[in-house]
Structure 1
Amino acid sequence: MERGVEWDFEPTLDRIKVLLELLGEPQRAYPIIHIAGTNGKTSTARLTEALLRERNLRVGRYTSPHLVTMRERIVVDGKPLSEERFAELYEEIIPYVEMTDAGGRRIQFFELLTAMAYAGFADAPVDVAVIETGMGGSWDATNAADGTVAVITPISLDHTDRLGKDIASIAGEKAGIIKPGATAILAQQELEAAEVLMRRVAETGAVVAREGLEFGVMSREVAMGGQLLTLRGLKGVYEEVYLPLYGAHQASNAVCALAAVEALTGGDEPLDVDLVRQAFATASSPGRLEVVRRGPTVVIDAAHNPGGMQATLEGLHESFDFTKVIGVVAVMRDKDVETLLELLEPVLAEIVVTTNSSPRSMPAEELGGLAEGFFGEERVHVVPRLDDALDRGIAIADAEGEFSGTGVLVTGSVVTAGDARLLLKKGEE
């Protein structure tokens, strides 16, 4: 049954609320940690899940988009739904979807997946669900549920055609997940975003905790394969916490996850420090400064907007001692492509521009034309197919010599990262 495409939809909660009502309000069967923001949502969701699971709770995690398979989006007990369970869940809810359709409210693609997640988590059943918004907040399908804890990761410009042309407008949309009686966990924000979020907190009477004030990263040093952190949570200080993820942005994601779990558990006692260490030491965030190959080192990253790309490049510089970086880049045509290229230019010695598997991907020739304006013709290679582009990028790095310190960065989109991950044989986690 045709449900349209994920990125083209009518913003309203009317349809999903009717469907969930027909399903018996499954989203009310468990407490929810709800996560919105421009960058860092999926990593924060995975880190939050890791902490909760380490406390022996059964956790449902719903994130988007996926890297390799749609089933990655709906996770129970740390594992994506099996093909059989995914199909079974679809078959279980489709009669209710058709009833909603018949009432003149045609359920759209992301709404269907969200209903499947909420119903699947109730059926499992889970002790707690970690839910990432798809886009925005106020009218995002996930917002038909009320989060006990609302986490807002850093807000920057993205989806401006949908969410607004400035930071304040985007923050206003994302603030919609903060509900009366909730606890709002706010990552460090630009001033315009912080003001809007704090107004929402005041309007709802939510309890607020802000990174850098009520909680934060106290110290951080680069360690083999990641970083060593001292984190100040809402209820205590957690020292010698190893995080196998790169960059200051991941340390921020980790402390936001920590504060969210502390807020959910209630009381004044801090979490067990060994539990926190164990949870974070085994955490992963596929497609986020992830090393997928050695000799030469190939790093993939899902950065697709200026805020995300800035964080990625800072993390790359801090955590990898590359003498030279070759870029393999494919982007969506509706993104701020010129700013992405402007940010990449000082970092990349050469850039291989290509396309990913999405119909929204900018054609390689068009991206190449834009790239030449920043890099000059000599540094730009146009290779239409991603598999060939990966081969070209690796070949350029190889030609520098085994001990040259040249690395390859594959970036520009979540789809690019997922496609590259599959092609380079990392597969599904």
Structure 2
Amino acid sequence: MTPVFARKNEGTLLTLHSSSVTICVLMTTKKSTGKKPLRKTSKKKSSSVSVSKVKRPARAFRTYPQAIKYLFDRTDYERQKKLRYNVSTFDLDRMNNFLKALGNPHKKIKTVHIAGTKGKGSTATMLGKMVEANGYSVGLYTPPHVTTLHERIAVNSEMINKKTMLGLMNRVQPVIEKFLSKDDGPTFFEIMTVLAFMHFADEEVDLAIIETGLGGRLDSTNVVNPEVVGITSISIDHQNLLGTTLDSIAKEKAGVIKKGIPVVTVAQDPAAMRILKKLAVSKKAPLAVTGKDIDFSYRFESSREDGPHTRLCLTTDNSRFEHLRVPLPGEHQAINCGLALAMLDTLKDKGYTFDDQKTILGLNEVKLAGRMEMVSADPRILIDAAHNAASVRALMGAIGQHIPYDSMIVIFGCNGDKDVRGMLTQLQYGADKVIFTRSNSPKAVFPSDLADMYTELCGKMCQTTLSLKAAIRAASSATSKEDLICIAGSFSLVGQAKDLFDATPTK
């Protein structure tokens, strides 16, 4: 006797007969939600081969430490004292071939490209938060890092985790080995940049915000075809690589300008602005300047509710922001925020839609490690990654505006490839006392050399220590409750300081 089964609306009932048994199988079908899947999937072809006989490809790395050691064993220009800046050392052909061998992940995502001397990370972070607040998935690539390598790559404000990094390293390792066999292995920064592109492509981000590492023209990130280019303030930096004059540095930074791609920048030194305009015209790239082509202004104020802060106004045909509170302290951050808003406005012409209220909410969530960050209350210790003369000048001014203190001791250490004399000159205008120390970077200048230069420049007395811990002990013993200790000069030094006061592990 054949059994009777009730039919389900969501499935199909099949009854299979054999000579000895009747088998009933309910075939169900899932209702469509109408939503796009997070990741594209493809149907796998059936195989008659037993699962037990299928060999998985061997993994080069079984543990995260193995993968990271392999990564750090690659050529790392960020840590080299002497370096030639040319098309052989910084080879975009190698970068393009590397990407091609991995399926060109950078061509699978829409991007924004940000170059400049100072403010790149702040501008990128503010833009990312505003776009994310409007419901878009956002990738963020911001080298260098303060404490952990994972800071450089994030999706929707979440740093890449160890498991994902391990998986990506196993995917790129065979390709790296092929290039190494031809004596043309990719560098540490090239690999990190490729990992970022791959992660963003895997996550199918709606927009990836890409910050340059060094210069622009020959930078490994300069392989993208972005929706918009942003160029922050240009000043003297990396003279041994980019040139000793502002116009030579500007030429390298402006190398990210692409044919027909809109460019947004801030008010620049006339020498730098001439270069930007000339290249934009040659590339037929529309160039807009905040405060000139874009109605932009800002002012510093203090209120009982918000304390000392900066507010800005920015108006375009598509946007209108009035008396918007800048989330990060300092007038220089108002300039960066204005650039981020102007880039956001340009994205509207590319099909992105943004609600002003959501944009403001996103901006209010911005927090940035190592930028005027208070890491200790007693004694009061502030860290900032200012690492060129313009940034140190901006830092001294921002501290004076935003933080009350009786006396300030600056613990300072920098790298030799920077404008050292320029930074030391700016220190004297804010520091009551300076303690020179050394970070763990191979490029770090010896404290005694910094002290000699500082005394020569301004005639002021200073102190030296061989370690950051010793510098902090010396500063702490000489301060009262109303005094301030500021640690600045390089990402490496600030990262070490943050590690001393923040033990949050990486996932």
TM-score of the two chains, using structure 2 as the length reference: 0.79
Out of 285, 288, 293, the residue aligned to residue 368 of structure 2 is 285
Aligned with residue 414 of structure 1, among 484, 491, 494:
491
Q: What letter is aligned with 1:381?
A: Q
Alignment of 1:51-70 (within 5 A): 51-70=130-149
CA offset at residue 272 of structure 1?
A: 2.7
Distance 1:428 1:36 in 2: 30
Q: In 2, distance between residues paired with 1:63 and 1:167?
A: 24
Q: CA deviation at 1:72?
A: 0.8
> Offset at 1:428?
7.0
Alignment of 1:16-415 (within 5 A): 16-215=95-294, 217-223=296-302, 224=306, 227-234=309-316, 235-266=318-349, 271-374=354-457, 376=459, 379-398=461-480, 402=481, 405-415=482-492
Instruction: Give the alignment of 1:4-23 within 5 angstroms.
Output: 4-7=75-78, 8=80, 10-23=89-102
Deviations 1:380-406, CA, capped at 9 Å, x for gaps: 1211110121122222122xxx3xx32
Instruction: Encode CA deviations 1:32-74: one digit per residue, 9 max, x unaligned.
Output: 1100000000111111110111011111111111100111111
8 Å CA contact retained: 1:236, 1:270 = no
Distance 1:233 1:259 in 2: 9
- Residue 253 of structure 1 and its aligned partner are, at CA, apart by 0.7
> CA 1:121–1:251 in 2, change beyond 3 Å: closer, same or farther?
same
Q: Call closer, same or farther: CA 1:104–1:333 in 2, change over 3 Å.
A: closer
Instruction: Tell me, yes or no, if the aligned pair for 1:304 and 1:335 is still in contact at 8 Å.
Output: yes
Q: Could you tell me how far apart the structure 2 residues matched to 1:353 and 1:198 are?
A: 40
Measure how far apart 1:22 and its partner are: 1.0
Query: How far does the alpha carbon of each residue in 1:283-335 deviate from its partner, in whole angstroms, 9 at most, with x for none?
Result: 01211112222234221111111111111112112212223211111111232
SS in 1 for 2:208: strand
Q: Secondary structure at the match of 1:342?
A: helix
- CA deviation string 1:64-106 (max 9, x = no partner): 1110011111111211111111121111111122223334422
Distance in 2 between residues matched to 1:258 and 1:422, nearest whole Å:
32
Deviation string, structure 1 residues 181-234 (Cα, Å, up to 9, x no partner): 211011111111111111111111112211111225423233436624232143
The alpha-carbon deviation at position 375 of structure 1 amounts to 5.7
The answer as to whether partners of 2:227 and 2:350 remain within 8 angstroms in 1 is no
Question: Which one-letter code corresponds to 1:38 in the other structure?
Answer: T
Letter in 1 for 2:74: R
Instruction: Work out the CA distance in 1 between the residues paired with 2:307 and 2:159.
Output: 25
Q: How far, CA to CA, are the matches of 1:428 and 1:246 in structure 2?
A: 27
Residues 256, 317 of structure 1: alpha-carbon distance in 2 compared, 3 angstrom cutoff: same
SS at match of 1:314: helix
Instruction: Kindly indicate whether the alpha-carbon contact (under 8 Å) linking 1:148 and 1:182 is maintained by their aligned counterparts in 2.
Output: yes
Report the AA paired with residue 204 of structure 1. K
Per residue, is there more helix in 1 or in 2? 1
- 1:424 equivalent in structure 2: 501
- The one of the two structures with greater contact order (alpha-carbon pairs below 8 A, sep at least 6) is 1
- SS in structure 2 opposite 1:397? coil
The Cα shift of 1:271 comes to 4.1
Separation of aligned partners in 2, 1:226 and 1:140: 38
Question: Is the Cα–Cα contact under 8 Å of residues 329 and 410 in structure 1 kept in the other structure?
Answer: yes
Paired residues of 1:230 and 1:239 also in contact (CA < 8 A): yes
CA RMSD of aligned residues (A): 2.0
Equivalence for 2:45: none
The DSSP-based 3-state class of the residue aligned with 1:410 is strand
Higher deviation after alignment, 73-82 or 219-228: 219-228
Look up the SS of the partner of 1:262 in the other structure: helix
1: CA distance, partners of 2:75 / 2:298: 46
Contact kept in structure 1, 2:134 and 2:359, CA below 8 Å = no
| Matched pairs, number | 423
Instruction: Give distance in 2, aligned partners of 1:270 and 1:216.
Output: 21
State how far apart, in whole Å, the 1-side matches of 2:403 and 2:505 are.
Answer: 25
Query: How has the CA–CA distance of structure 1 residues 183 and 233 changed in structure 2, closer, same or farther, with 3 Å as cutoff?
Result: farther
CA contact 2:116–2:234 (8 Å) conserved in 1: yes
Unaligned ranges ≥5, structure 2:
1-69, 84-88
Cα deviation for residue 241 of structure 1 reads 2.2
SS at match of 1:144: coil
Unaligned runs of 5+ residues in structure 1 are none
Partner of residue 61, structure 2? none
**Aligned AA for 1:357?**
N
Amino acid at match of 1:21: K
The 1:247–1:197 alpha-carbon spacing in structure 2 relative to 1, beyond 3 Å, is: same
Larger radius of gyration: 2
Which amino acid in 1 is paired with 2:122? S
List per-residue Cα deviations over 1:367-388 (Å, max 9, x = no partner). 23333334657x4121111012
**One-letter amino acid of the structure 1 residue matched with residue 266 of structure 2:** A
Give the SS at the match of 2:287.
strand
Judged with a 3 Å threshold, the aligned counterparts in structure 2 of structure 1 residues 226 and 40 are, in CA distance, closer, same or farther, namely: farther
Query: Is the Cα–Cα contact under 8 Å of residues 250 and 276 in structure 2 kept in the other structure?
Result: yes
Q: Does the aligned pair in 1 maintain the 2:116–2:215 contact within 8 Å? A: yes
SS at 2:309 equivalent:
strand
Percent of pairs identical after alignment? 29
| Deviation per residue, 1:151-198 (Å, 9 max, x gap) | 000001111111111111111111111111211011111111111111
Tell me if the contact between 2:240 and 2:417 (Cα under 8 Å) persists in the aligned partners: no
Q: Normalising by structure 1, report the TM-score.
A: 0.93
